[in-house]
Structure 1
Amino acid sequence: MTAIPVSTGLAGSLNGRLHRPALNVFLIVVLAHWAEHIVQAVQIWVLGWPAPQARGVLGQFFPWLVTSEALHYGYALVMLAALWVLRKGFTGRARGWWNLALGIQIWHHVEHLLLLVQAQSGWFLTGHPPQTSLLQLLIPRVELHLFYNTVVFVPMVVAMVLHARPRQSERELMSCSCARA
């Protein structure tokens, strides 16, 4: 068996010799973002704060972070790009889980794009402010974004664990050194 050909340049490096450090940096960024959503949920459900005051940790110091649709869309786009670029380094079972995270993030990105369009245009899905995503019509925003970040994070972590512990057939196809001995 031969390794899956990986593109050259930055994408090739990120899926080859730099795959493990790139995944680690990406994981830290995703964990930090997810932790902000968890803190916000604790502020609401445990501490009893009103939703507008529950802004996570960074949002307490920089309130505009919570209300900036452009920033949230940018993060969703970066997540999408990272999931897309780093997927070429995955093989076998890990690739399937990574693709699942990517597919969910594609939808999450669409939802954030819809929110951004509303924020920028003044057109609102419900006919009046605030901006609303499609699933937000059914699930409150705080809960929805905690859910989205969780359902992208879980298959991403499963993929990373499987990638670090591949079967022999998967290891033979890998173009990186992420597999543990």
Structure 2
Amino acid sequence: MATPTISATTLNGRHHRTALAIFMVIVVAHWAEHLVQAMQVYVWGWPLSEARGVLGMPFPWLVTSEWMHYGYALLMLVGLVLLRKGFTGRSRTWWNISLGIQVWHHLEHLLLLLQKLSGVYLMGRPAPTSILQLVAPRMELHLFYNAVVFAPMVVAMLLHRRPAEQTGATCSCAVAH
């Protein structure tokens, strides 16, 4: 018996709604990790070194792993690229905005990973540092990045579900009213 495969056509066609749901669960889980970490610092008053989100508590190496952070940034980029063809009209515009911001976010994580691997840090800093980290602390910067990637993604998905926005779409994500 042959193993069924999902092509880019079916991913952005009959499997688009399911793929978007899975992608959104991953995105929201990651976003929640950042929000919990911020709550640990700003609400509970924990020092940043102790504020590790939910998964970072039992697995502290996750917070300091540039590989894990880069992997997530790459996963986001790949997901945004793979699911893009299913969007049309205004929803495609908002999805593209999210994708464009994620390209920059991914490049920042690539820079961090390359510094970690080489031991040579940006502008002589004592630890890997991204470009925008030169003006904003890392935790707050990543809250910002996740917010500005997430917000247009949500707008795109809400627009995408409107039947009027489905002109030329190959999926059945629209909700009938």
Interval of TM-score (by shorter of Structure 1 and Structure 2): over 0.9
User: Which one of 151, 173, 178 corresponds to residue 173 of structure 2?
Assistant: 178
User: Which one of 19, 24, 40 corresponds to residue 21 of structure 2?
Assistant: 24
Unaligned ranges ≥5, structure 2: 1-5
RMSD, matched Cα: 1.2
Is 1:126 equivalent to 2:118 in the alignment?
no
Shift of 1:32: 0.3
Is 1:150 equivalent to 2:147 in the alignment?
yes
Structure 1 equivalent of residue 77 of structure 2: 80
Shift of 1:134: 0.3
Number of residue pairs matched by the alignment: 172
Q: For the Cα contact (< 8 Å) 2:88–2:167, is it kept in 1?
A: no
Output the CA distance in 2 between the equivalents of 1:166 and 1:95.
Answer: 14
Structure 2 equivalent of residue 113 of structure 1: 110
The Cα offsets for residues 15-51 of structure 1, whole Å up to 9 and x where unpaired, read as 0000000000000000000000000000001111111
Higher relative contact order (CA closer than 8 Å, sequence separation 6+): 1
Within a 5 Å distance, the mapping from 1:133-144 to structure 2 comes to 133-144=130-141
Q: For the Cα contact (< 8 Å) 2:91–2:159, is it kept in 1?
A: yes
Structure 1 equivalent of residue 3 of structure 2: none
User: Which one of 10, 13, 21 corresponds to residue 10 of structure 2?
Assistant: 13
Secondary structure class of the residue paired with 1:149: helix
Output the CA distance in 2 between the equivalents of 1:176 and 1:159.
Answer: 14
Within a 5 Å distance, the mapping from 1:83-98 to structure 2 comes to 83-98=80-95
Output the CA distance in 1 between the equivalents of 2:125 and 2:93.
Answer: 40
Shift of 1:129: 2.0
TM-score (norm 2): 0.95
TM-score (norm 1): 0.93
Unaligned ranges ≥5, structure 1: 1-8
User: Which one of 29, 33, 36 corresponds to residue 30 of structure 2?
Assistant: 33
Output the CA distance in 1 between the equivalents of 2:101 and 2:125.
Answer: 28
